[in-house]
Amino acid sequence: MRVDHEATLPLVYRLCLRSILRIWRTLDEIEEVEAEIIELRRVRLKEHGVRGRAPYTWRQIAGYPGRLALDRTVVPIPDQADRPVNTLLADARTALRALPRSPLLTCTIIAVLALSIGATTTIYSVVHTVLIEDLEYPEPDRVVGLWLVQSDLSRARMTPGNLLDARELGVLESLGSFRRSSATFHPEDGDAIVLTGTRVTDGYFESLARQPIVGRPFNSLETSTGGPSVVMLGERFWSTRLGRDAGIIGRVLILNDTPREVVGVMPSGVYPAGASIGAEVTIDPDGPDFWIPERFSEAFYQNRRSHLLGVVGRLDDSTSFEAAQAAVATLGANLGERDPMNAGEGLVLTSFRSEVVGAVEQSLVLLLLTVAVVLAIGGANVAALLLVRAESRQAELALRAALGAGRSRLVQLFVETAILAAVGGGLGVLLAPRLLDALRGAIPTSIPRMHNAVVDWQVLGVSTVLVLLVSLLAGSLPAVFAARSSLTGALRQSAPGAGVGRTRRTLQAFMVGAQASMAVVLLVVAGLLVRSFMELNAVDLGFDSDGVLTASMNVPTSVGDDQESIVEFMRVVRESLLEIPGVTAAGLASDSPVQRNWVDGFRILGETRGPDDDPTWASLRRVGVGYLELIRTPVLDGRGFSATDGVNGAPVAVVNEAAAALYFNSDAVGRQIFLPSLERMYGEGFAGATREIVGVIGNVRYLGPQAEHEPAIYMPLDQFTSAGLVAAVRIDASRPDAAAAVRSAIMAVDSGVGLREVTSLSSLVGRFTASARFAMILLAMFGAMGLLLAAMASHALVSRVVATRLREYGIRRALGAPSGALARNVLWAAVGPAGIGTLVGIAVATPAAFAIRGQLFATTPLDPVSFAAAPVVLLLTACAAGLLCLGRALRADPVDALRSD
């Protein structure tokens, strides 16, 4: 038989009501509320004559906690101890009184937590921004990159012909190309500046789904040949140079002497701004300064030689990435049929996200894992320190339990941990933005989106969870132990002269060992990265960057574009530079030694290459008089360039050692080469397209220490001028105003020179290793933190052991025990647990080392130096921690020891 009027509320309502009201109401009151709700329903049923179950409503039930909370002034909370809130408050009060009693311990715990939480929050905020947050584009997963795959499987930029091919793909909603551009701009006030921009075809902004914040996108007239000259500005340039003037739309800016009407302003953000020869997207921190329409003639679209273009597209709704990949692969396989130039080549589709973050993903994940280990060490450290605290209060807690305090009183320990964790974590979170600022200064610009990293709510949420986790884990050990302790045992153990409880000491030793093992892993990984970085720095780049300043600029338009005028301009610039006091050499080139802008094919005259032979290609570079001597690249055979290799001199070239070995069987001097691209540029029959090799010079690694040597052909700058120039000077490094002097010397020649950065070549070289350096420095810091924490733990353990065994030491001394034996005993307490931890650490570090193999340069993952140094450093530190306590043990006075009994 069903009872019509139930005596209880349905379980779900009851649970909700009780769990909320229980915080500040007595059980009796809650039961009364429940009874009333039941009664009300019963009366309603009777009144309306409805049989069966009339529902309880959430609205009705939710009213009770709300009104009871608001009404507590009228119906006050009786001062009863069984309410969790009151107990918690009491616990918190007790904890706040207890914590300052051991200031050193409290401060240490807070500092450890602040540092480890701060570091974790900082690194997480970077990872969150760079890796987890979506790119700013709508549906970023649909944005893709498209590249050519060459026969050697390396990626390359697309040719205009390939772009046409790709437009036939049915799977892309839009498709556009981009390539680097730069332009000299004369602001109304001040000197000419060089802006960096991007040339884009239609489909580029559509693929990124980017809309201008002011103005309109390019229209189809503007993106086709013969259309009006227009420009789209970047938000940063618009803000910093044009004062965010919305009236700029429709105005005309002169870029490189071309008047261009401003049609719009694109917001700052991640844009593919250019593509390197190695087919890697380059991204400016805030986007390019400007975009201009790329307008190829019909004829140029037939070009299948010039690998110029980066291509970005957007998948249409109905196509998955895999399906699109397959379609692209099919098209790629047929490229050879379209044009023999593309024989053996293919196409590949990449996700744009991986283009942006792919390169840094590994090192950021490594950093995150590392910082997690630091946090784990910090947590273990805090747990060990809390154990020490709990131990010193063991008698108090046991006595409380004996006097009738419930076991839940031991929540007290948790409350203390929670307070410590909240303070430490709070400080850590406050610290995080400072750390992030410091990190931003040190971070290589190559990490995209890094500048967006902030400690935001999501990051704070993660930190809060971490703080809770740490306090829960770190607080549970001591609390469990306190709960298990018996009064007699506790009182006996806390009596003066008693030793530390065996279980507890074992536990503490275990914690020390755990920290030591984690620290060893950190140290090994840090050691490997340091070794790898040293190897990177030891690589001979083929030039001497010390004391060299470089300035990149554009030839001013006032000079004109005939070769004689440019040669004369370059001569004057070089002389002006040589007049700077302290300058020992000066020279000009088309590219800085740390750039590779132009790679092209060539033919060796008198040699026929079969269709199966590898094509001959090289990086083409132009250098002025004195430049190779300036950067100290040695001439190995024949001669370098001299003043005779001028405009009217015989066309000559110099090749590097790699080209000589690869193409000329190391006998290059005297051979003749033909450069078809020069003929294309200067017209059929251009005499300068055929050049005689007059010398062989040393290899230069233009793309940094990790790049292979590659063939290069150098031509005299005077015989083949360039609109973009790099001036270099070797200058006495002690001159602090060297950069300013170089700048004014160049500006003195012509103020219309679009001068970009004047930078030391060393700092440019440093960019190659910036990522490695960044990872290394952070890991070394984390390793040091881990080491310090492990040492602290060792010290805490030993000093505990010594303190509780003073009596024993005293008696042993009195009985004539040699100091050596006591010292061994004390040191063993430190080194023993650390030693076992170290062994475990080495075992864990081995797979860890293999996991980071991709980050290592010329360093084996099992590098003996790193694997040997880490344990030695750790054990020495543990030893030092032990030695700090040794004095006290050796001074133990038997009389004192016995008196305390």
Residue with token string 């400007």 = 290
Give CA 63 to chain center in angstroms: 50
Torsion of CA 630, 632, 636, 640, to 10 degrees: 0
Minimum CB distance to another protein, residue 75 (Å) = 5
Q: Which residue's CB is nearer to another protein, number 40 or number 89?
A: 40
Q: Which residue's CB is nearer to another protein, number 39 or number 134?
A: 39
Q: Which residue's CB is nearer to another protein, number 32 or number 257?
A: 32
**Of 67-75, 281-289, 549-557, 843-851, which part binds another protein (CB under 8 A)?**
67-75
Q: Which residue's CB is nearer to another protein, number 39 or number 732?
A: 39
Q: Which residue's CB is nearer to another protein, number 44 or number 216?
A: 44
Applying CB under 8 A, among 15, 27, 60, 134 the residue interacting with another protein is: 60
Minimum CB distance to another protein, residue 457 (Å) = 34
**Of 59-67, 187-195, 386-394, 816-824, which part binds another protein (CB under 8 A)?**
59-67
Q: Directed axis angle between helix 321-333 and helix 160-167, to 10°?
A: 130
634: CB partners within 8 A, 6+ apart: 697, 698
3-state secondary structure of 18: helix
- Give the separation between CA 842 and CA 518, rounded to whole angstroms: 9
Q: What residues numbered 73-102 form the site for another protein, per CB under 8 A?
A: 74-75
Minimum CB distance to another protein, residue 71 (Å) = 5
- Cβ neighbours of 888 (radius 10 Å): 15
Residue 63 binds to another protein (criterion: CB under 8 A):
yes
Q: 599-601 and 754-760: which strand pairing?
A: unpaired
**Of 35-43, 268-276, 534-542, 893-901, which part binds another protein (CB under 8 A)?**
35-43
221: CB partners within 8 A, 6+ apart: 227, 228
Torsion of CA 706, 710, 715, 717, to 10 degrees: -20
Give CA 587 to chain center in angstroms: 37
Applying CB under 8 A, among 12, 15, 27, 35 the residue interacting with another protein is: 35
Applying CB under 8 A, among 20, 21, 37, 127 the residue interacting with another protein is: 37
Q: Which residue's CB is nearer to another protein, number 76 or number 864?
A: 76
The closest alpha carbon to 220, from 204, 198, 202, belongs to 202
Q: Which residue's CB is nearer to another protein, number 75 or number 402?
A: 75
123: CB partners within 8 A, 6+ apart: 367, 368, 370, 371, 778
Q: What residues numbered 529-558 form the site for another protein, per CB under 8 A?
A: none
Q: What residues numbered 239-268 form the site for another protein, per CB under 8 A?
A: none
Applying CB under 8 A, among 10, 15, 27, 36 the residue interacting with another protein is: 36
Q: Which residue's CB is nearer to another protein, number 39 or number 561?
A: 39
- Give the separation between CA 134 and CA 123, rounded to whole angstroms: 18
Q: Which residue's CB is nearer to another protein, number 75 or number 865?
A: 75
Q: Which residue's CB is nearer to another protein, number 25 or number 504?
A: 25
Residue 381 has which token pair? 């450290």
Do residues 455 and 125 make contact, with C-beta atoms less than 8 angstroms apart? yes
Residue with token string 């506790």 = 490
Task: Classify residue 632 by its DSSP letter.
Answer: T
**Under rule CB under 8 A, how many of the chain's residues touch another protein?**
28
Do residues 256 and 184 make contact, with C-beta atoms less than 8 angstroms apart? yes
Minimum CB distance to another protein, residue 491 (Å) = 46
Minimum CB distance to another protein, residue 32 (Å) = 7
Q: Which residue's CB is nearer to another protein, number 59 or number 97?
A: 59
Q: Which residue's CB is nearer to another protein, number 71 or number 893?
A: 71
Minimum CB distance to another protein, residue 48 (Å) = 10
Residue 821 binds to another protein (criterion: CB under 8 A):
no
Applying CB under 8 A, among 14, 18, 42, 241 the residue interacting with another protein is: 42
Minimum CB distance to another protein, residue 88 (Å) = 25
Do residues 378 and 470 make contact, with C-beta atoms less than 8 angstroms apart? yes
- Cβ neighbours of 620 (radius 10 Å): 23
Q: Which residue's CB is nearer to another protein, number 70 or number 299?
A: 70
Minimum CB distance to another protein, residue 1 (Å) = 13
Task: Classify residue 717 by its DSSP letter.
Answer: T
- Give the separation between CA 82 and CA 284, rounded to whole angstroms: 62
Do residues 230 and 263 make contact, with C-beta atoms less than 8 angstroms apart? yes
- Give the separation between CA 664 and CA 692, rounded to whole angstroms: 13
Residue 39 binds to another protein (criterion: CB under 8 A):
yes
- Give the separation between CA 305 and CA 599, rounded to whole angstroms: 11
**Of 60-68, 320-328, 628-636, 829-837, which part binds another protein (CB under 8 A)?**
60-68
For the chain, the 3-state helix, strand and coil shares in percent, each to the nearest 5, are 55, 15, 30
Do residues 194 and 754 make contact, with C-beta atoms less than 8 angstroms apart? yes
Minimum CB distance to another protein, residue 80 (Å) = 17
Applying CB under 8 A, among 27, 71, 221, 344 the residue interacting with another protein is: 71
Q: Which residue's CB is nearer to another protein, number 60 or number 240?
A: 60
Do residues 771 and 447 make contact, with C-beta atoms less than 8 angstroms apart? yes
Residue 64 binds to another protein (criterion: CB under 8 A):
yes
Residue 58 binds to another protein (criterion: CB under 8 A):
no
Minimum CB distance to another protein, residue 37 (Å) = 7
Residue 35 has which token pair? 């009874």
Minimum CB distance to another protein, residue 87 (Å) = 24
Applying CB under 8 A, among 33, 175, 467, 470 the residue interacting with another protein is: 33
Minimum CB distance to another protein, residue 39 (Å) = 5
**Of 2-10, 351-359, 497-505, 510-518, which part binds another protein (CB under 8 A)?**
2-10
Minimum CB distance to another protein, residue 89 (Å) = 24
- Give the separation between CA 80 and CA 57, rounded to whole angstroms: 31
Q: Which residue's CB is nearer to another protein, number 39 or number 437?
A: 39
Q: Which residue's CB is nearer to another protein, number 8 or number 819?
A: 8
- Give the separation between CA 843 and CA 847, rounded to whole angstroms: 8
Q: What residues numbered 409-438 form the site for another protein, per CB under 8 A?
A: none
717: CB partners within 8 A, 6+ apart: 570, 588, 589, 590, 622, 623, 624, 627
Q: Which residue's CB is nearer to another protein, number 23 or number 851?
A: 23
DSSP result, 399-459: HHHHTT--GGGGHHHHHHHHHHHHHHHHHHHHHHHHHHHHHHHHS-TTSTTGGG----HHH
**Of 68-76, 437-445, 673-681, 699-707, which part binds another protein (CB under 8 A)?**
68-76
Alpha-carbon separation of residue 324 from 128, 172, 314 (angstroms) = 29, 8, 10
Q: Which residue's CB is nearer to another protein, number 74 or number 815?
A: 74
Applying CB under 8 A, among 15, 27, 43, 868 the residue interacting with another protein is: 43
**Of 38-46, 373-381, 479-487, 697-705, which part binds another protein (CB under 8 A)?**
38-46
Site track for another protein across 3-32, x = CB under 8 A: x-xxxx----------------------xx
Q: Is 520 exposed, middle or buried (0-12, 13-18, 19+ CB in 10 A)?
A: buried
Torsion of CA 713, 717, 721, 722, to 10 degrees: 70
Residue numbers at the binding site for another protein (CB under 8 A): 3, 5-8, 31-40, 42-44, 47, 60, 63-64, 66-68, 71, 74-75
